[in-house]
């Protein structure tokens, strides 16, 4: 019996490790060898084997059974949904521009998991109904992206509440939604927004400049300070 050691980080598995795991298994399988797989943490081998069966052996009955209590982080989710990630550009997205048939509970859940805060279904109904522009993006009838803009029809359009389902982030969908809202806002003198701290570069890449004098009155001033949306400045 030979022993093959493939070191794999528990929290940040690299794709080349997955490829090495699969090619090793495939080679041994071709040679008709019996393979025993040992893993100190079961979820790693569960996910890798699931990927191997589903995407390499094309076994449609492949099932992923994860240990109880294990919540895959973003990197693990990418491996689990790798077939979807590989098809990024082929995703058959459906775009909806009105809120007539929106399931507000589904939308509320999307914000929770994106995450973009705890937004109540009824409040979402109010703010989306009152927003002139809105985009909802569906994949296989599941809501995976959203954004809206409040606009006055001439001077100013304010883009907000942009969020993408965590399994579909970094695939260009957020960019597509903001570009769509920019397009819908065409003709306005200005399109404004405020970014969550850390997301400034995302908007900067889409053409937004940083404003010098933006100000706000938040209902919950303390929270806005805590989330670093505002800062205290003493004007003389
Ligand atoms: C922020 C968010 C909307 C971005 O959407 P996305 O679909 O993941 O991003 P995209 O794939 O469209 O990224 C477009 C570009 O922005 C960049 N980008 C995305 N998120 C970024 C970030 N946090 N920081 C810096 N750049 C970022 C990407 O690298 C990509 O660059 P490229 O065009 O040069 O390749 C999404 O990650 C999300 O929903 N986050 C949680 C909720 C949230 O914070 N919403 C924003 C509120 S202000």
How many residues does the structure list for the chain?
236
Cα dihedral 145, 72, 13, 146 in deg (nearest 10)? 10
Ligand 1 near 179 CB (within 6 A): no
Q: Confirm or reject: Cβ of 175 under 6 Å from ligand 1.
A: yes
- Domains of the chain: residue spans and CATH: 15-86 (no CATH), 89-193 (3.40.630.30)
CA distance 216 to 227: 14
pLDDT at residue 133, as a whole number? 96
Closest CA to 158 of 124, 185, 127: 185
Handedness of CA 163, 165, 168, 169 (dihedral sign): positive
Rounded Cα distance, 114 and 204, in Å: 20
Binding site membership of 195 for ligand 1 (Cβ less than 6 Å): yes
pLDDT at 84: 52
pLDDT in the model for residue 83: 60
For ligand 1, mutation pick of 111, 146, 202 (most atoms within 8 Å of CB):
202
What b/e sequence results for 58-91 when a residue is b if at least 16 CB atoms lie within 10 Å of its CB, and e otherwise? eeeeeeeeeeeeeebeeebbbbbebebbeeeeeb
Which among 84, 169, 203, 214 is the best mutation to test ligand 1's pocket, defined by most ligand atoms within 8 Å of the CB? 169
Token duo for residue 1: 């019996």
Q: Looking up tokens 């900067």, which residue turns up?
A: 204
Pocket of ligand 1 contains residue 87 by CB under 6 Å: no
The answer to whether the CB of 196 falls within 8 A of the CB of 163 is no
Q: What is the DSSP string of 93-160?
A: EEEE---TT--HHHHHHHHHHTT-----HHHHHHHHHT-SEEEEEEETTEEEEEEEEEE-SSSEEEEE
- One digit per residue, the tens of pLDDT, for the chain of length 236 reads 888 888 888 888 887 888 898 899 988 888 888 888 888 877 888 888 888 888 888 888 888 777 777 777 767 777 776 665 554 456 778 899 999 999 999 999 999 999 999 999 999 999 999 999 999 999 988 999 999 999 999 999 999 999 999 999 998 999 999 999 999 999 999 999 999 999 999 999 999 999 999 999 999 999 999 999 999 999 98
């Amino acid at each position: 019996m030979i022993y093959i050691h493939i070191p794999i980080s528990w929290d940040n598995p690299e794709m080349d490790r997955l490829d090495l795991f699969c090619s090793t298994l495939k080679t041994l399988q071709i040679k008709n060898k019996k393979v025993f797989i040992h893993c100190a943490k079961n979820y790693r081998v569960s996910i890798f084997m699931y990927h191997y069966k589903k995407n390499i052996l094309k076994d449609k009955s492949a099932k992923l059974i994860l240990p109880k209590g294990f919540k895959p982080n973003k990197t693990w989710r990418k491996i689990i949904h790798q077939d979807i990630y590989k098809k990024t550009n082929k995703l058959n997205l459906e775009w909806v521009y009105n809120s007539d048939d929106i399931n507000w509970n589904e939308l509320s859940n999307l914000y929770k998991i994106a995450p973009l805060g705890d937004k109540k279904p009824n409040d979402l109904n109010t703010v989306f109904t009152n927003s002139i522009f809105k985009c909802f993006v569906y994949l296989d009838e599941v809501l995976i992206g959203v954004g809206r803009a409040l606009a006055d029809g001439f001077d100013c359009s304010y883009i907000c509440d942009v969020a993408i389902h965590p399994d579909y982030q970094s695939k260009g969908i957020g960019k597509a939604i903001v570009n769509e809202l920019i397009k819908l806002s065409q003709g306005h003198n200005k399109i404004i927004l405020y970014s969550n701290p850390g997301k400034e570069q995302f908007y900067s890449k889409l053409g937004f400049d940083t404003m010098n004098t933006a100000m706000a009155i938040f209902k919950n001033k303390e929270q806005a300070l805590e989330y670093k949306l505002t800062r205290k400045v003493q004007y003389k």
